[in-house]
Structure 1
Amino acid sequence: MTQIITALADISDNYDALYVDLWGCLHDGVIAYPQAVAALQAYRKSGGIVVLLTNAPRHRASVQKQIGSMNVPSDSWDTIASSGDSARASMFRGSVGEKLWYIGPDYDLTFFDPISVVKDPVNIQRVSLAQAEGIVCIGPFDPHAEPEVMRPEFLLAKNKGLKLLCANPDIVVDRGGVREYCAGALAALYTEMGGEVVYVGKPFPAIYDLARRRLDAVKPGIPCSRILCIGDGIKTDIKGAMGEDLDALFISGGLAAAETKTTDQPDKAALDAFLEKEMTTARYTMGQLR
């Protein structure tokens, strides 16, 4: 059973490092949450290490630029591990081929920037679906359109036997209070149709390996028992923490605010019912990161 807490400071002395989700915990896709920023700043001043662990389908330099534009200050975190980092490494190792059909907005084309951490990367070429050997999905062309709009293209892709690299397993996010679909929603449709998907990001192991390496680069040797994962995604942040045998703090006022009846704090009965339905739990829960 989860323990409802009022502030990160209630438990922070038990942990030397945090893996902190971004969207829904530290910002809403538009602007940073001041209380969350203050909590992380205080944690770092006490000697703790903050790893921003995000399913953003961008490399960490792009993530850093983005969160800076949302007023997330650099003194609230130490390093970044992104789904985009892991997915780019997978792509440049040839996991879905060399000639790739790209699904995503033009502003995320930095995904194809040259990479230095992969030895002898394959020669990636962006091509049409008709010419493709594989697919890279960063997110929908239109984040407000139902995933079903992709069914005709996905039928062709499946019949061609194309693998789809999903660079963000999140299904939805709330941007400034407006719900949007993510790459994970398209990947779920492709899987349902019988297509093969290569998932990278939370809750899958590769991104936690990356987070560990990034943490060790800041301060090596922190035991897993002293790492706390913080996130609002029950199927990504919390499931991933459980898979890695790490403690988790569930932020109930994010994606699951309605199900947990969270205003300032969750309704305990609603929270317990939600966790039981999802067949998971977190060591701690609170409404918003603060």
Structure 2
Amino acid sequence: MEYAPHLSEIADRYDAILCDVWGVIRDGRALLPEAIEALRRYRADHGPVVLISNSPQPAPRVAAQLRSMGAPDDAWDDIVTSGDTTLAAIRELGPGPVFHIGPPGYDDALFEHAELDFAPLEDAAYVVCTGLKFDRRDEHPDDYREMLAAMKARGLPMVCANPDIVVQWGDDLLWCAGALARLYREMGGDTVISGKPHRPIYELAFETLAEAGHHLDRSRVLAIGDGPETDLIGAERNGLDGFFVAGGILGGDIDLDTFDLDAVRPAIEEYGTSCRWAAAQLKW
């Protein structure tokens, strides 16, 4: 792992970038202007940029959210999401009946394309989890043990639409659907996950690039993210160089003012992964 405080210092090594969203170009509440500018400058002078997000929302909804926050239209070429790949998994399982775990109303954009038959847990054929069901600021995954045990007793698979364990929201970390999927697996339940770090979302990103005429050597593609369990493991599994942004979900565990690779390295290795580059934030 090497320190790369400025993307401009390593930009010539790469022909494309796959960049995470939450924790890299936005902190939940607001966009991070220096990170946006870094992607804009890279795209102008070096190659395409695809945002690769574990959001359970389809890509057009994520694009609309970023525009509403003031994102420019020249900082990336396209967006792929866990919501996009989740739709493919749902279609394979069929219309249901389905039990949904997640915040009411938030995932309407995903379900508009899925044509699902929703049902109570006792009648469901499988479960789609898009997040914690009520208020994830006050809830903990352990609050769902009884529900997950009931799912396990019936042998229901869980489709996890957002593999993130936590996500940055300003100075806070909020639990995501991935935390429930991890607990369900620990309890012996069956999970279906196609977002980062799993292959389907990366294949979708490269298909998107190929459709735009970019046929790339993966050794010359940079994957930027703040999540060791998702972004870094995903990069490693898919033959990409990983760039770790320490100011995201691990920002509370790392001294960003005196950035020290010797402190960052063990924080990443705890997750059983590594990366090619690291910095406190994404900057040009």
Q: Where does structure 1 lack aligned partners over 5 or more consecutive residues?
A: 116-122
* Secondary structure in structure 1 of the residue aligned to 2:268: helix
Q: Which one of the candidate residues 121, 135, 143 is aligned to 1:129?
A: 121
Matched, 1:150 2:144: yes
Q: For residue 78 of structure 1, what is the aligned residue in structure 2?
A: 77
Q: For residue 19 of structure 2, what is the aligned residue in structure 1?
A: 20
CA distance in 1, matches of 2:175, 2:50: 25
The aligned runs of 1:188-207 (5 Å cut-off) are: 188-207=182-201
Runs of 4+ in structure 1 displaced over 6 angstroms?
none
TM-score, scaled relative to structure 2: 0.94
Query: Residue 253 of structure 1 contacts residue 288 of structure 1 at CA under 8 Å; is this kept in 2?
Result: yes
Identity of aligned residues (%): 38
Moved more, 186-195 or 22-31: 186-195
Q: For residue 278 of structure 1, what is the aligned residue in structure 2?
A: 271
Q: For residue 120 of structure 1, what is the aligned residue in structure 2?
A: none
Moved more, 187-196 or 28-37: 187-196
The aligned runs of 1:19-168 (5 Å cut-off) are: 19-94=18-93, 98-105=96-103, 106-114=105-113, 124-141=116-133, 142-144=135-137, 145-168=139-162
Cα deviation code 1:120-151 (max 9, x no counterpart): xxx62111112111000000012120111111
Matched, 1:240 2:234: yes
Q: Which one of the candidate residues 229, 247, 250 is aligned to 1:253?
A: 247
Quote the RMSD (CA, aligned, Å).
1.5
CA distance in 2, matches of 1:269, 1:57: 35
Amino acid across the alignment from 1:102 = H
Q: For residue 280 of structure 2, what is the aligned residue in structure 1?
A: 287
Q: Which one of the candidate residues 174, 180, 196 is aligned to 2:174?
A: 180
Cα deviation code 1:205-259 (max 9, x no counterpart): 1111101111112232121122100000011000000001111111111111233
Amino acid across the alignment from 1:236 = T
Amino acid across the alignment from 2:99 = W
* Secondary structure in structure 2 of the residue aligned to 1:126: coil
Moved more, 21-30 or 267-276: 267-276
* Secondary structure in structure 1 of the residue aligned to 2:173: strand
Q: Where does structure 2 lack aligned partners over 5 or more consecutive residues?
A: none
* Secondary structure in structure 2 of the residue aligned to 1:179: strand
* Secondary structure in structure 1 of the residue aligned to 2:242: strand
Amino acid across the alignment from 1:50 = V
Cα deviation code 1:149-170 (max 9, x no counterpart): 1112111111111100011111
Query: Residue 196 of structure 2 contacts residue 234 of structure 2 at CA under 8 Å; is this kept in 1?
Result: yes
The alpha-carbon distance between structure 1 residues 114 and 272, as it changes in their structure 2 partners (threshold 3 A), is closer
Q: CA deviation at 1:49?
A: 0.3
Query: Residue 40 of structure 1 contacts residue 77 of structure 1 at CA under 8 Å; is this kept in 2?
Result: yes
Query: Residue 259 of structure 1 contacts residue 270 of structure 1 at CA under 8 Å; is this kept in 2?
Result: no
* Secondary structure in structure 2 of the residue aligned to 1:278: coil
* Secondary structure in structure 2 of the residue aligned to 1:225: helix
* Secondary structure in structure 2 of the residue aligned to 1:149: helix
Query: Residue 78 of structure 1 contacts residue 218 of structure 1 at CA under 8 Å; is this kept in 2?
Result: no
CA distance in 1, matches of 2:128, 2:99: 6
CA distance in 1, matches of 2:158, 2:191: 5
Q: CA deviation at 1:19?
A: 0.2
CA distance in 1, matches of 2:259, 2:212: 34
TM-score, scaled relative to structure 1: 0.92
Amino acid across the alignment from 2:271 = E
